Amino acid sequence: MTETQAIPAAFPFESKFVTVDGSKMHYVDVGEGDPILFLHGNPTSSYLWRNIIPHLSGQGRCVAVDLIGMGKSDHPDISYRYDDHYRYLCGFIDALGIGSNLTLVIHDWGSGLGFRWAHDHEQDVRAIAFMEAMIRGLSLDDMPGSLRLAMRMMRMPGTGWLMISAANIFLKKMLPDLTYAEISPEALAYYRSAFPTVASRKAILQWPRELPLDGSPADNAVVVEAYRQWLTHTEVPKLLFHGNAGVAIKEAEVAWCRENLSNLDVVDLGDAIHFVQETHPETIGSELSSWFARL
């Protein structure tokens, strides 16, 4: 499937803020009914879902949050480990009172957080839709050569700081390079506006170091393996989106999901890499809406 028109850059939502653990978290909140929570990853924000939310805002309460230290949320002086983000996300869900009959729509590190929350709160989860998601721990050997080298370097203390904080590689290179369709200058400018300085990039610097690669960091690997096991036996409805050039969800992962996850629907997006929302928002939105209506 290929979108035939330019991807709109406008963000037509009112910005809202809630205080969690002393810091403001930015979010959008539209529609009424059972909650649908959209979780982004690195280095994006709630802006990633701008063209998808309208497809569901007539069916439920659509909430998209900027993770702590990202988007328009505050950038407190914390370590930005996986556990930190999870603590703030749990606080956010509690503060908004959306932690019941919740549908999760998750991507990238948002999936690592969303799957973890679902594992910890199965009785409160209505369904999970995921794309380019962390369904298992990874190995450097799983990655193509250029990405493998970049990931190894980004996890090194000095080199990683130079690449991510100083050179801003995630926003200047990886975001556009890992999007099949060309992102408009306006959209790129919006994403980049969240990280104008070296100091503001602490969260995006830490995320590659949190990725459980070949079992390290060990604490994160344990969490991911626990929710992976849970996914293989829970009957919670699931919807998988995948493209033909995925980074986290490749052909082997699609096959694993089909073989091991029950109550699963699968949508093939065709030409897509990692930031599938910037290539196929109409398809994702319409398929999500149809799936949600059947729950």
The domain segmentation of the chain, as residue ranges, is: 16-294
Of the listed 3, 84, 132, 253, which one is catalytic? 132
Interval 265-280 mean pLDDT: 97
Read off the pLDDT of residues 132-168 as tens digits, 9 standing for 90 and up.
Answer: 999 988 888 877 777 888 889 999 989 999 999 999 9
C-alpha neighbours within 13 Å on the C-beta side of residue 52: 28
d(CA 105, CA 134) in angstroms, rounded, equals 13
Instruction: Output the pTM of the full model.
Output: 0.97
Q: Residue for token digits 């493209």?
A: 243
The pLDDT assigned to 140 comes to 85
Of the listed 26, 242, 274, 280, which one is catalytic? 274
Of the listed 84, 108, 210, 253, which one is catalytic? 108
Q: Is the domain defined by 16-294 classed in CATH 3.40.50.1820?
A: yes
Q: Is 108 a catalytic residue?
A: yes
In this predicted structure, the answer to whether residue 273 has a pLDDT above a threshold of 60 is: yes
Are the C-beta atoms of 194 and 188 separated by less than 8 Å?
Answer: no
Interval 256-265 mean pLDDT: 97
d(CA 91, CA 167) in angstroms, rounded, equals 32
Strand-by-strand arrangement of the 238-243 sheet: 16-20, 23-30, 61-65, 35-39, 102-108, 125-133, 238-243, 264-270
d(CA 111, CA 117) in angstroms, rounded, equals 9
Q: Is 3 a catalytic residue?
A: no
For residue 123, which of 99, 143, 106 has the smallest C-alpha distance? 99
Q: How confident is the model at residue 246 (pLDDT cuts 50, 70, 90)?
A: very high
Q: Is 40 a catalytic residue?
A: no
In this predicted structure, the answer to whether residue 104 has a pLDDT above a threshold of 50 is: yes
